[in-house]
Amino acid sequence: MAAADILPKPLMADSLPEPQPRPAPSAAEALTPLIRSTYRTSELCFFVNGRRVTISNPNPDWVLLDWIRAQDNLKGTKLGCGEGGCGACTVVLQTIEKGRQLRHSAVNACLFPLVGVDGKSLITIEGLGTVARPHPLQERIAKMHGSQCGFCTPGIVMSLYALVRNSYRDGKFHLSASDVEMQGHLDGNLCRCTGYKPILEAAKTFIVEDLKGDLVEDSDSFPLVDDDVGDKPLQTSANGNGCGASSSGSCGRPGGCCRDPSTSSSRSSVARMSSRDSTATLATSMNSSEKASLSNAFAPYDPTAESIFPPSLWKYEQRPICFGDGRKIWFRPTTLEQLVELKDAWPSAKIVGGASETQIEIRFKKSEYRVCVYASDIEELSSFKGPETDDELRTLSELSIPGNMPLSKVEELCATLFLKLGPRASALQALGKQLRYFAGRQIRNVASLAGNLATASPISDAAPALIAAGSTVTIRTRREGSYDVPLSTFFVKYRTTQLPSSGVITHIKIPIPSPETFETTKAYKQAKRKDDDIAIVTAGFRVRLNQDGVVQQATFAFGGMAPTTTVATMAQEAVLGKPWADGNTKEAAISALLEDFNLSFGVPGGMAQYRKTLTLSLFFRFWNESVAELGLTNAGYENIREIHREISTGTRDHFVSSGTKVVGREIPHLSALKHCTGEAEYVDDMPLQKGELHGAIVLSTKAHAKLLAVDWSIALEMPGVVGYIDKDSVPHGSNDWGPIRADEPLFAIDEVHSHGQTIGLVYAETALQAQAAASKVRVTYEPLSTILTIDEAIKAGSFHEHGKQLKKGAAIQGPLDDIFAKCDHVFEGTTKLGGQEHFYLETNAALAIPHIEDGSMEIYASTQNLAENQVFVAQVLGVPMSRVNMRVRRLGGAYGGKESRSTPIAMLVAIAARKEHRAVRLMLNRDEDIATSGQRHPMQCKWKIGTDDNGVLQCLDIDIYNNAGYSLDMSGAVMDRTCTHIENCYNIPHAWIRGWLCKTNTVSNTAFRGFGGPQAMYFTESFMSAISEGLGVDVDELRVRNLYKEGDWTPFLQQIDIDFHVPTMLDQLSTKADYENRKKEVGIFNSKNRYRKRGICKIPTKFGLSFATALHLNQAAAYVRIYEDGSILLHHGGTEMGQGLYTKMCQVAAEELNVSVDQIFNKDSQTDQVANPSPTAASSGSDLNGMAVKNACEQLSERLVPYRKQFGDNAPMSVIAHAAYRDRVNLAANGFWKMPKIGYKWGNYKDPLPMYYYFTQGVAITEVELDVLTGDHTVLRTDIMMDVGRSINPSIDYGQIEGAFVQGQGLFTMEESLWTRQGELFTRGPGTYKIPGFSDIPQVFNVSMLRHDSSGNAISWKHLRSIQSSKGIGEPPLFLGSTVFFALREAVKAAREMNGVKEPLFLNAPATPEKLRLAVGDEFAKRAAVIPREGETNFFVRIED
């Protein structure tokens, strides 16, 4: 199709009424001549997984992911966040580089412009392999338990695949452990389930065993990045013969493993830790027998089996392309001249590279760009020819970097030239360092310096380094040609530069000083997370000295301190002409910095004191490093260097249970291969139904307001829109819902009570059309006063009805005043903990399919709670529950967030489907999901505790407040568990515990893994720390003195029995982890290091298993059918969300029926197979459903006894079942189980039944290192021991332990939710809300399970009466992530002690870098203090306050 044919016809002069003057030319008028002369086609031609694709005039609103997911056979690439922050959408683009070499670039399909694939080869997860024939990388990740929910897995596989393909040269793979883990190839991928460890292990063993690589850690301080190396030898030639190098090599698997003990010096560095001087050892995750069996289990890797680069693309010639419609036009010029002509013809045309900024503006800021120009295929803006000869290197005085060169290539270029030029290229080293931690690898592969500078972000990573180096930008316009602008004057004001609207940045020029110049440049960045995070403060520093060490030039540039990147003018002037190494010079600069950046308390972005402190700290670090590196002093600078993690290692004490055939075996997750190949189907992957509609919700933009009017008219006129539903679409009295109390309106009526409350739903023919229409609905409000925080709720007396309390000892009779009077010491305090976003990778989704004939409805929903969905869908449809069938095959993560908050999604699609008699689908965008689904409850507690002189606890009086939000949801049940875990593992003879549910104008908070337990035990350990410090008693000794003993009673009057193993695990783990010696080493380290401090701690946990006070939920049913061919169909009420429930249930059934797991088919969970299923929650999924499955199988086994006698115990089930069928034996059985002995009733202080069926327990030891100057930290080592009973599947349980720990680590140290003053949640996606990434896990991560007592005797758990004597494990380990927090607390204490701070330490979670840095209490923090003016408030709100 000709490009000109797609445009609307330009207006003709005679069509205009007279005498009205002619309007300014439209885009069509201005650009049509250029289109007709240059842009001859609107077709995109590319290859997908080896198949040629041609698209004519595609939808201009589509990004690459939209096109991919519109294809029926390409559903493996997922939408996780829509902003390039999670990696679920990662695909690989093959492109030709100079020298006919291939480059494999991992990119975010959710951002990448569709036009950018023209002339390229696109590889999606489907192009690697299938379940029948998986790629060895897919197979290894699957079989080594690197996948749980699986939603993130395709993206991770693709990132690793790009790394592997780029590493092939000279006939072999050049990969190291550093490449996998340290160079940022996975920093753009997130996983919420696994804790990352098994993924890294799978990748490393794949390199060693499949690729025959060597995990050698490069010794260079700034290693090369291998992204740009060609891999042409890896390709199969067009005639089918393999390449010479690869086909001649063996494809067998070498013996051994990267984790085998080795005497090779080349591998010794894998175990080395820069932050660990004495105790690190090479750790392995599997014993030798398991490694041997795994090596034999994997198919060998054959490089020639990789898909070839399409031969026709070698000859492809780029063509200028134009496509679009009357709303939006895309251009793809192929030369710089064409780009300049376009900008001259239409100056407001948006230049797009990787769209990492543009697509964010379109998606979240609703920006509309009429004309977009894709510039990344213009060779002049990306090609680079650098110095090659020694003379060229010696005379190099300026490096001109092409403006559109991908940042990953710029990073490599900087590293390469720094190695060649040495210290005179320190500016390049500084820039490369900043780029390494800029965004994720996928974004760095497409983003550019020109784009980074043109967006003029005030927190740019690159700009401070470039300004410090004295860089200039080259700008070109059609009228003025090319000219240079100093970067120091380029930024005019917030998001505004000197770049003219018709101009293009073509190059960035960086001066290179001569070898004789005495100069150094450095750059620094501080963010909440090291990898892929937006900076809080960035800095670039350069000083040039004369031969006497006197400052001749100085540039100190900062980001994050002003509306633009700016320089510290007074600090620069303060050092000019002064001896750089003189301490007085340093002090003058620090004093001047305080004047340069005098931030107000309410400064946009908040953190005023922290940001000011960072300017001083980063300068101080630069001064020390530069003085040492320039040889101005003999003193070392070891103590002020930044913290850098090393390669991670770890162990699992694999153990196979005896006495069983299937249960206890480490079977991989049954869907793992499907996860890794993209064949696992989630709700939004399901094929489109005929006539299907797509929904988009209309949400409140006010936290509390009257609804005056809702105008749908504009939305209804938009293309593709079919209709809407709102409060008038449900039967009278059916609008309210809730898991415990129906107090939450599905649609707002008259008033909104939270920002993000649902007002209505628009539905249209496509999801993009529905979303566009939803944004056009006009809502008129009358604002009302808001309550956001716990303190505000307490002051206003705003609470949900609750009233539950626990009393023990003297509290049963009345107040504890007399008991406190007898205590030797009484401690009081207030402790706070922020909330936590679930951040499951698959957002809430549902698909409703109506059946017209009988008025029934089938709904596929991503939910943990099929029954609750069914109840309320039936309510809003006005039909019996039997007419609603809820179904779910798998969830892409949940963690409690889909227990109740999935319900309204199902209700919405059901109402719309019934109204239109058409299927309706809805999948929330990430920001919508976070804004509406609630969080872990932010909490605050006011405690008073009494002890004797030895610190033995005597009595506790405590008020616990949670921020419930605007509706009750499950906040009361969460508070119940909080109250029952407030003592953790310690005996408190007298206790009065009260819970309060604060009613606020925030999103309704909900269940989250741990369900209030982690918050409670965090409060416990906080007041234990206060007691320890108040009495001067070692906190470990204090914990031991107060541990429960058998026969003690909990605050809810449940007796501690023989199953209490915490003392045993404390002893065993202490010995195993060499805790006491390491504790001493930490003290020695801290005495020798002022600016780096370590902390270590050991904490136990005890977590109760059962739906505590919802007794009716402690039941389950299962339905097992044996077909006459011996195959078995299994249904139960549990849902699979990554925890391996389906796998465990198949193991249970296989064990009971004496068959292999392969013979069991666990179909999707659905309410027309198992009625009234309990939610899969409370870590009870295996207990409840496993016992129900066992019960059903026992019935069947009993019926088959005669046939086993007839044919033998080992006869195949096909023989036995066929014979039984012929004898008319019922081969179907319904199983049922209800949890015995429990039944606690609140207020019964005489003879209550137990609250919990049993307790899962554990202990963790964690050691950390803190950068005192910035608040940054790394986790050096974590050792965990869990009592999981007799594990049904140890590897799945190890994954649960590691994943829960890392999630807990995020809760207590990193994940911070912030609100605006207007009540809008600010942290609504990976750009602003940071969960742990690959580089945040413990550097040494060891996990073990309790096997024997302290005397070496095997422990029996038969008394549990649980399924196979196992214990629930999903939630209990999460609290152990707090060991990172409490170890950091110890490190802060050490720093405060060195700084002479005497006041008690108050540190609330999450322990972000800001909180840690300011808690140090040093001179910099004091001097940077910011005093709020009268009435001035912080920019953001923390609702736990």
Q: Which residues are tagged catalytic? A: 1371
Gap between the Cα atoms of 105 and 92, Å rounded: 5
Preceding peptide of 1406 cis, ω within 30°: yes
Taking alpha carbons only, the member of 790, 680, 774 closest to residue 718 is 774
Q: Which residue has the tokens 């080992």?
A: 1210
Taking alpha carbons only, the member of 84, 188, 71, 80 closest to residue 124 is 71
Gap between the Cα atoms of 587 and 584, Å rounded: 5
Rg (CA), the chain: 32
Gap between the Cα atoms of 1150 and 386, Å rounded: 64
1313 neighbors 837 (Cβ within 8 angstroms): yes
The residues, any chain, with a CB within 8 Å of residue 611's CB and separated by 6 or more, are: 536, 537, 560, 561, 597, 599, 603, 605
DSSP 266-301: HHHGGG--TT-SSS-----SS-HHHHHHHHHHSPPP
1265 neighbors 1274 (Cβ within 8 angstroms): yes
User: How many residues can be counted in the chain?
Assistant: 1441
Q: Which residue has the tokens 């009357």?
A: 326
Region for residue 145 given its phi and psi (left: phi exceeds 0; alpha: psi -120 to 50; beta: otherwise): left
Q: Which residue has the tokens 């003690």?
A: 1048
Gap between the Cα atoms of 800 and 261, Å rounded: 59
Classify residue 1112 by its DSSP letter: G
Query: How many CA atoms within 13 Å lie on the side-chain side of 73?
Result: 6
Gap between the Cα atoms of 290 and 293, Å rounded: 5
Buried b (16+ CB within 10 A) or exposed e, 1003-1013: bbbbbbbbbbb
Q: Which residue has the tokens 């679409």?
A: 729
From the centroid of its chain, how far is CA 1255? Answer: 29
Q: What is the spatial order of strands in the sheet that 329-332 belongs to?
A: 321-324, 329-332, 371-374, 350-352
What are the distances in angstroms from CA 796 to CA 78, 122, 535, 787, 789?
45, 58, 37, 8, 11
- Helix 1290-1309 and helix 197-205, axial crossing angle in degrees, nearest 10: 120
Please state whether beta strands 736-737 and 566-567 pair in parallel, antiparallel, or not at all (unpaired): unpaired
Token pair belonging to 152: 């993130």
The residues, any chain, with a CB within 8 Å of residue 650's CB and separated by 6 or more, are: 197, 283, 285, 1338, 1340, 1341, 1342, 1343
Taking alpha carbons only, the member of 502, 465, 509 closest to residue 485 is 509
Q: Secondary structure of 981-1024 in the HEC alphabet?
A: CCCCCECCCEEEEEEEEEECCCCCCCCCCCCCHHHHHHHHHHHH
Burial class (CB in 10 A: 0-12, 13-18, 19+), 632: middle
1095 neighbors 1385 (Cβ within 8 angstroms): yes
The residues, any chain, with a CB within 8 Å of residue 1327's CB and separated by 6 or more, are: 83, 85, 360, 534
Task: Classify 485 as helix, strand or coil.
Answer: strand
Gap between the Cα atoms of 866 and 1110, Å rounded: 17
